[in-house]
Amino acid sequence: MMRCRLLALAGLLSLASISNGLELEDCRISAGPSAQGINARCGTLVTPEDPMSPDGNTIELKVAVVPALDLDPMPDPVVPIAGGPGGSSIEMYATQRGAFEALRRTRDILLIDQRGTGASSLMSCEADDELVQGTYSDEQTIQLTRECLEQLPHDPRFFTTSAAVRDLEAVRVALGYPSLNLYGVSYGSRVAQHYARRYPETTRSVVIDGVIPSGLALGPDIALESQEALAGVFARCAEEPACNEAFPDLPATLDRVLSELSENPVDITLPSPTSGSPDELTVSDAELAVAIRLFLYNPNTIALLPLMINEAGKGNLAPLSAAFQMVAESLGNSMAVGMHNSVVCTEDVPFYDDESIDYAALDESYMGPDQLRALKAICSVWPSGFIDEGFREPLRYTGPVLLLSGDADPITPPDYAVAAMGELANARHIALPDQGHGVVGVGCMPRLVADFVETQDAQSLDNECLERAFVMPFFVDFSGPTP
């Protein structure tokens, strides 16, 4: 077999490539309408909506191949898989392409928008995306969920991980790749693990970043893990003289602000982050909790949190309110709510054990039980979908696996990666201090990941270079971080 169909000759490929019904043509992909485009080869694969009914309704999958830089590339591509659930892998790659350039020197990047996301039979709706953040009552959440279900173009039961890995295998076969190197971040780590479970013979290597163990039902511990991450931020600020001097009692300040907003929400007008037109917001403790939670994902936004919380304590709610406004709009643009709900209502919520949930600890957390309550309300009316037998069993895979974590991750802490290693025969875990959710682009990690994929040897990686990885210092005012 010719090595990877000479896809690296991107400038010379003006004719379509056709393989088993999947036609690839020159295209440009990007992270959004105003973002810089990337040269690729794109196509659409038509596949059954119900994987068990090949003659039934069909859906379309968006596929893109970013050719390797090498003129004689290796035959096995790298497959980045987005998180969410509900994110577009094509947009994720375009946003973080620098993290994959070392890999692209010798291998194609194969991108598939998972069914229900991006340009793959999008399963979204006009219902407010805040419904998955827990800012509504149960009754409002259920009503919005019913409205969302009515707007969906396809049967939500078939937009799950078990269906998605069959799609990935169908694309591999259609393009003639002998095997795949998987990179999955966050929810994408679940997809990568399940593909390796079903198709170990065509899985060459696995990198999972912000790891979700196979048997873990996400939801009950989200608020508790986020509370622990926030406590870590407060402790780190207390250890840094400039931050501690500027913000000496952050936990008490935050508790007071959340308590006051719970009793008396505040109306505030801010310019829209996209249009600039004035937006009127009612800010309660729920909105502030959403902003804090999502700012905890990245060290660059973590650096702003002490300052923003301190400003809120002085009555200036604009910074944290603007943060909520920004992340809510970003989620609305990037996450397919219908696909998200199909996954969590099939793979997570049905497996909650109410007796083991620490509701008292949830009540004490800054997030409270609102998000957990919202997920349970959504799934009370959302249909549970297609799930493989053995889906929740530990991954027993003998190929090479590299697990990555940030020890300040507010949702998938390093302990999750350690749990996922339990049945892996050839795995290594690397945790980065003071880093957040998804670390593939941090410091020298892109080179280490490329070395791992090339050699298939995680144990020999020299990760000393990660000790020099940059962590954004805390801001003590709005002019910038401390020196």
Any domain includes 171? yes
Both 117 and 52 in a single domain? yes
Both 324 and 411 in a single domain? no
**Which residues make Cβ contacts (< 8 Å) with residue 292, sequence separation at least 6?**
230, 254, 305, 309, 320, 366
Cα dihedral 278/284/290/292 (nearest 10)? 100
Write the DSSP assignment of 14-51 as a string of letters: -SPEEETTEEEEEEEE-SSTTSPPEEEEEEEEEEESST
What would the mean pLDDT of 10-33 be, rounded to a whole number?
65
Q: Is the pLDDT of residue 133 over 60?
A: no
Both 315 and 403 in a single domain? no
| Alpha-carbon gap, residue 384 to 341, rounded angstroms | 9
pLDDT of residue 275: 67
What is the residue type of 26? D
What would the mean pLDDT of 88-106 be, rounded to a whole number?
97
Q: Find tokens 């350690």 and name the residue.
A: 418
pLDDT of residue 278: 82
Both 211 and 253 in a single domain? no
Instruction: Pull the structure tokens for residue 158.
Output: 């078939």
| Alpha-carbon gap, residue 184 to 190, rounded angstroms | 7
Both 74 and 179 in a single domain? yes
| Alpha-carbon gap, residue 112 to 173, rounded angstroms | 14
Indicate the pairing of strand 38-48 with strand 109-112.
unpaired
End position of a domain, from candidates 288, 304, 334: 334
130-144, 426-440, 447-461: range with lowest mean pLDDT: 130-144
Gyration radius of the chain over CA positions: 22
Instruction: State the CB neighbour count (10 A cutoff) for residue 386.
Output: 18
What would the mean pLDDT of 88-101 be, rounded to a whole number?
97
| Alpha-carbon gap, residue 324 to 288, rounded angstroms | 7
Any domain includes 57? yes
Any domain includes 276? yes
Instruction: State the CB neighbour count (10 A cutoff) for residue 180.
Output: 24
pLDDT level of residue 128 (50, 70, 90 thresholds): low
- Judge contact between 251 and 234, C-beta under 8 A: yes
Both 310 and 426 in a single domain? no
Instruction: Pull the structure tokens for residue 173.
Output: 């076969």
Q: Is the pLDDT of residue 431 over 90?
A: yes
End position of a domain, from candidates 319, 334, 349: 334
What would the mean pLDDT of 410-439 be, rounded to a whole number?
96
Q: Is the pLDDT of residue 48 over 70?
A: yes
Instruction: Pull the structure tokens for residue 83.
Output: 């998180």
Mean of pLDDT over the chain = 91
Any domain includes 383? no
pLDDT level of residue 131 (50, 70, 90 thresholds): low
What is the residue type of 258? L
Any domain includes 140? no
Domain count, the chain: 2
Q: Find tokens 């309300």 and name the residue.
A: 377
pLDDT of residue 363: 95
| Alpha-carbon gap, residue 270 to 279, rounded angstroms | 5
Q: Could you report the per-residue pLDDT of 358-372, keeping only the tens digit for each?
A: 999 999 999 999 999
* Higher-scoring residue by pLDDT: 234, 332: 234
Exposure of 49 by Cβ count < 10 A (0-12 exposed, 13-18 middle, 19+ buried)? middle
Q: Could you report the per-residue pLDDT of 186-230, keeping only the tens digit for each?
A: 999 999 999 999 999 999 999 999 999 999 999 999 999 999 999
Both 65 and 181 in a single domain? yes
pLDDT level of residue 322 (50, 70, 90 thresholds): confident
- Judge contact between 203 and 180, C-beta under 8 A: yes
Any domain includes 237? no
Both 35 and 96 in a single domain? yes
Instruction: Pull the structure tokens for residue 353.
Output: 């054990």
Both 310 and 425 in a single domain? no
What would the mean pLDDT of 24-39 be, rounded to a whole number?
90
Q: Which has the closest alpha carbon to 110: 46, 42, 166, 48?
A: 42
Any domain includes 301? yes
pLDDT of residue 273: 64
pLDDT level of residue 271 (50, 70, 90 thresholds): confident
pLDDT of residue 127: 61
Preceding amide of 85 cis, omega within 30: yes
Q: Is the pLDDT of residue 347 over 70?
A: yes
| Alpha-carbon gap, residue 352 to 270, rounded angstroms | 39
Q: Which has the closest alpha carbon to 462: 428, 438, 437?
A: 428
User: What range defines the domain where residue 89 resides?
Assistant: 3-127+161-216+392-468
Q: Which has the closest alpha carbon to 273: 329, 224, 230?
A: 329
pLDDT level of residue 8 (50, 70, 90 thresholds): very low
Q: Could you report the per-residue pLDDT of 276-286, keeping only the tens digit for each?
A: 778 788 889 98
Q: Is the pLDDT of residue 453 over 70?
A: yes
Q: Is the pLDDT of residue 113 over 70?
A: yes
Both 45 and 111 in a single domain? yes
Per-residue 3-state assignment (H helix, E strand, C coil) for 377-405: HHHCCCCCCCCCCCCCCCCCCCCCEEEEE
Q: Is the pLDDT of residue 6 over 90?
A: no
In DSSP terms, which residues pair with 60 in a beta bridge?
46
Any domain includes 372? no
114-123, 127-136, 380-389: range with lowest mean pLDDT: 127-136
| Alpha-carbon gap, residue 203 to 479, rounded angstroms | 48
Cα dihedral 9/14/20/22 (nearest 10)? 100
Q: How far is CA 383 from the centre of its chain?
A: 23
**Which residues make Cβ contacts (< 8 Å) with residue 330, sequence separation at least 6?**
none
pLDDT of residue 272: 73
Q: Could you report the per-residue pLDDT of 281-310, keeping only the tens digit for each?
A: 888 998 899 899 989 999 999 999 999 999
Both 53 and 199 in a single domain? yes
Both 326 and 446 in a single domain? no
pLDDT of residue 3: 36
Instruction: State the CB neighbour count (10 A cutoff) for residue 95.
Output: 18
Q: How far is CA 72 from the centre of its chain?
A: 32
CATH of the domain at 405: 3.40.50.1820
What would the mean pLDDT of 80-89 be, rounded to a whole number?
96
| Alpha-carbon gap, residue 133 to 176, rounded angstroms | 41
Q: Is the pLDDT of residue 173 over 80?
A: yes
Instruction: Pull the structure tokens for residue 215.
Output: 């048997």
pLDDT of residue 325: 80
Q: Could you report the per-residue pLDDT of 232-258, keeping only the tens digit for each?
A: 999 999 999 999 999 999 999 999 999
